[in-house]
Amino acid sequence: MSGPCPVIYLVDDDDSVRRALTRLIQSAGYQVQAYDSARAFLQRDGAADQHACLVLDMRLPDLSGLELQRELNAASPVLPIIFISGYGDIPMTVSALRAGASDFLPKPVEGRDLLRAIAQALDRAIEARESRREFESIRSRLERLTPRERDVMALVVTGLLNKQIACELGTVEKTVKVHRARVMEKMGAHSLAELVRIADKARLPGSELKAPKR
């Protein structure tokens, strides 16, 4: 396993379960930080969250697993969660998965199933981190565009020709060509197809890329 050793957070109020799962997870080469309550977990140093996942019991003495999931999603939605529970029912499972849980395993947890779920959750965390970095890079490039260049980009990716864009914006085709070239340069796009892909990424929640009103 290359790079920093992943950290697996474990939150379970049952001492025997916590010890057993800690041994199991450590046997697979992971670091483990175990907690007996949601509040204790929330007080952790989150520096390791970039390469981590959380194995979380559904029923805890303070916050429930679902309540902790809601708090974490508000602050750090890229931390994958694997729920474990001896009392899980279908509505509870559905709620957890809809809120972004990576997996939901019944107790007693099969070691092979848990280690598989952890590996998948860590892969998911890497993908989410890479997607976030890509979006932040695109957003930074978008901020370099002037308002008119942003208008031109929004129309270019819809497939309009330069003369059609000029008509939409009330300008001339020559001016549109200049703006279009600057858009391609600033966005780091070498083709229309690449610019369309970038625009699709930019339309993630929080983006302000919109076609101008006609």
Those residues whose C-beta lies under 8 Å from the C-beta of residue 138, and which sit 6 or more positions away, are: 187, 198, 201, 202
Per-residue pLDDT tens digits for 130-145: 888 888 899 899 999 9
Across the strands, what pairs with 34? Answer: 10
For residue 6, the 8-state DSSP code is P
Cα separation, 16 vs 33, whole angstroms: 15
What pLDDT does residue 205 have?
A: 41
Does the pLDDT value for residue 1 go beyond 50? no
Task: Break the chain into its structural domains and give their ranges.
Answer: 7-134, 144-202
By the 8 A CB rule, do 85 and 60 touch?
Answer: no
Per-residue pLDDT tens digits for 21-51: 999 999 999 999 999 999 999 998 876 677 8
0.85 exceeded by pTM: no
Per-residue pLDDT tens digits for 97-129: 777 788 889 899 999 999 999 999 998 888 877
Question: Integer distance in angstroms from the first to the last C-alpha of the chain?
Answer: 53
84-92: long-range contacts, CB 8 A cutoff, minimum separation 24: 84/12, 84/55, 84/56, 84/57, 84/58, 84/109, 84/114, 85/57, 85/58, 85/59, 86/59, 87/58, 87/59, 88/58, 92/58, 92/66
What is the overall mean pLDDT for the chain? Answer: 87
Per-residue pLDDT tens digits for 176-195: 999 999 999 999 999 999 99
- Going by pLDDT thresholds of 50, 70 and 90, the confidence category of residue 3 is low
Does the pLDDT value for residue 10 go beyond 70? yes
Mean pLDDT, rounded, for 72-88: 81
Does the pLDDT value for residue 214 go beyond 80? no
Locate 22 and state its tokens: 């800690």
Residue 44 has phi, psi (to 5 degrees) of -70, 165
Architecture of domain 7-134: 3-Layer(aba) Sandwich (3.40)
- Going by pLDDT thresholds of 50, 70 and 90, the confidence category of residue 207 is very low
By the 8 A CB rule, do 52 and 125 touch?
Answer: yes
What CATH number was assigned to the domain covering residues 144-202?
Answer: 1.10.10.10
Helix segments in 83-213, DSSP class H = 90-98, 111-142, 147-156, 162-169, 173-187, 192-202
Mean pLDDT, rounded, for 146-166: 94
Cα separation, 139 vs 205, whole angstroms: 11
